[in-house]
Structure 1
Amino acid sequence: MKIFKSHFWYNKSQRNGIFFLVVIIIIFQLIIVFGDFSSDENINLHSSEVLAFHKQIDSLKTVELENRKPKIYPFNPNYITDYKGEQLGMSLEEIDRLLAFRKANKFINSKKEFQQVTKISDSLLNVISPYFKFPDWVIKKNSNNKKTYVSFNNNKPYKKKIISTTDINKATAEDFKTISGIGEAFSERIIKYRTKLQGFSFRNQIFEVWGLEKQVAEKVLSTFKIIEKPIINKININTVSFKELLKNPYIDYNLCKKIFEFRDEVAELQNISELKNISDFPLDKYDRIVLYLVAE
């Protein structure tokens, strides 16, 4: 009896503490039961912030689903198992066709053969064929077996290239490009050299175009002729300056120097043919040189 009395015997201060504790508990209980904790604020579920949040959640779900999908690594389609074929989306019939083909000790060497054997759809073939990995010797064999076919439309008549003129001194770059072996560069080069000469005066001057092969030059001469000879501005050999004489396409520095020394020696040339008296004068170029000179 004394034991129970010791546990339930309190002094005045302890009884007051217990009393206040009970009062506080009752007050909290009343607040919880009768208190209104609801909020008057309405949340707009269609606001831009809420929609953006849902969109972000959806994108994270999509990424997670993609990550959970089994990844496909390059593989040899000859060794597809039942489990592998099911993962790729093949039906049981398609897998069985492949296994039966392999049991006959035959091998598939291209995606076209794979479709012929399994009879899978084009859409599925386009999905899985990029992962096909054949041995190097098979790839090399397939590349060597490829043939290129060139189709010609016989319904369209062959259009012959038309030139604007047959006069070599009036022909345009497009005219020269009709000759086999002459493209953009050579056609422009011919015109540039023709301008330097002030026009072709001799047929064989076409052979002087730098880089133009003899066979191609002969093709030019077979199409174009010198119909009208050019009018060349001639300069007086007795009054021409050293710099002006060097502009002659057939006179280099050494020959120009010899001509001036000869002119100083004879004082004045009476006839242009006197140039032949110059030591080591290139007689093979005489008819071209004198195209641009006159003795007055």
Structure 2
Amino acid sequence: GIFFLLLFIFLFQILYWSLKYFDINNDASLFIEDLEFQDKLSEAIDLHEIKKSQEPAFFNPNFISDYKGYALGLSNEEIDRLHQYRKAKKWIYSAHEFQKITLVSDSLLMKLSPLFKFPEWANKQKVIGAKTKQQQFSEKKNLNDINLATETELQRVYGIGEKLSNRIIRFRTRLGGFVSNQQLFHVYGLEDNVVKNLLAQYEVKGTTKISLIDINTASSKVIREFIYFDREAANGILRYRDSAGIIKSWSELEKIENFPLDKIEIIKLYLSL
């Protein structure tokens, strides 16, 4: 009995140390660093960062600040010319206009113009502005007032059915009336060619009086219900108003987070300070 007991203890010790040795070696193999894979991963991250840094930074030349202009290579005089032009409530619609106003050199314009990003309405404005006065007069001499049109009358325009006519009326009602022909391009689902058909028969004649929204005193509900302000823009206005107090000038609207700058000239027609 003693012999078998000693034999059992001896075999148990051999088995214990064998398993312990196997586990240590096995665990060590699990934590071997894969240097090749790590190098590939680091290389991929570096390439991604380089590619991201090389992406062109597009910008609207109407909103070039002093610092931005200096970084782009504009002189103080060129920046001042741009700011004076914008203070007169005028907009730049093309690279050619930018050079005409700022008097930048051809070489600098060639460098900057590929980065210019104008809003969609600016491109449409260029097309409309390219028409001669005689063409505009001939197009408008017998046009009806879009603010007085009924759904039935709108459905007589090619491309407008019951759904679109109802959408135009609801858009007009929420605004209190159209103040610019350009707003028809803002109606959801109304394609450009249909808008052109509509403008061949209708225009804004200014017969409707708009109730202006006081941007400084309007309630949060009024701000949020204004059709041109989505939730982010409305919250940005309210936050700016809480922090800055009274909004004293139109230029301050450009500083508000998420403000729809591409429609700022239209929006200002519905606001008061």
TM-score by length of 1: 0.41
Larger radius of gyration: 1
TM-score by length of 2: 0.44
